Copies of this chain bind each other. A is one copy, B any other.
Amino acid sequence: MRYPNGRQKRSSLTQSNRKAPIRYGNRGMTLEEDINETNDFYLATNKAVIHKKPTPVQIVKVDYPSRSAAVIKEAYFKQPSTTDYNGVYNGKYIDFEAKETSNKTSFPLNNIHEHQIYHMKQVTAQQGLSFLIIRFTYHNETYFFPAERLFFHWQQKENGGRKSISYENVKEEGILIPIQYQARVDYLSAMNQYFV
């Protein structure tokens, strides 16, 4: 609603700003940003070497202008065949996928691709440590969720069961990761609780 002088009514402006959830805990950072910061902290403190893999891109056309860098002029996003993050912690192979959902009551399984499940099963068979990091943005909670439990719920879905993991199940079968100032999403601590 606008007044004749063209200014918006202040209270309605404030109201509309309030629609955005107030996220004291994480300063509005995305899960990816939080994990990248955590990985930087792990690297700087020699705790672990874990990186996000580059986005896979199918490059079709490249220009090579003289005296300057090659320019990719046509390329397409490819579906990742693995998870987004991997690395090493104390000699052990770590492999995970991170997803946030705005859903209040469940984590929809269509956030994960079938070939990612396949990849995580292969990693688990090789004794690698595999898991999901799930953030419920509505609850502002982030969970470590072990691959074995993901496989269970995926199988339920394949057998005609529900297409999501309920929020309650994530709470019960996963481990809440407290948001901290440094190592903002300290997933390795949660992982150690689970795998020990």
Interface residues of A, count at CB 8 A: 40
Contacts of A57 in B (CB 8 A): 54-55, 57, 59, 72, 75
Within 8 A of B (CB), among A35-93: 43, 46, 48-49, 51, 53-57, 59, 69-78, 81-82, 86-93
- Contact A70 B76, beta carbon cutoff 8 Å: yes
A95 to B126, CA, bound (A): 15
Q: Is A165 interfacial (CB 8 A cutoff)?
A: no
Report the minimum CB–CB distance from A131 to chain B (whole Å): 14
- CB of B126 within 8 A of CB of A51, answer no
Q: Does A128 contact B (CB under 8 A)?
A: yes
Interface pick from A21-29, A117-125, A141-149, A154-162 = A117-125
Contact between chains at A51 and B82 (CB < 8 Å):
yes
Chain B residues, CB < 8 A from A73: 73-74
The number of times this chain is found in the oligomer is 2
Q: Is A105 at the interface (CB under 8 A from chain B)?
A: no
In the complex, are the beta carbons of A126 and B90 less than 8 A apart?
Answer: yes
Known A54-B56, A70-B76; judge A46-B125 contact (CB<8 A). yes
Q: Which of B69, B82, B88, B119 contacts A127 (CB under 8 A)? A: B88
Given the complex, which residues of B lie within 8 Å of A46, measured CB to CB? Answer: 122, 125-126
Q: Which among B53, B69, B77, B90 is the interface contact of A53 at CB below 8 angstroms?
A: B53
Interface contact A77-B82, CB-CB below 8 Å = no
> From residue A78, how far is it (CB to closest CB) to chain B in Å?
8
B71 touching A72, Cβ below 8 Å: no
Q: Are B75 and A126 in touch, CB under 8 angstroms?
A: no
Interface residues of A (CB under 8 A from B): 43, 46, 48-49, 51, 53-57, 59, 69-78, 81-82, 86-95, 119, 122-123, 125-128
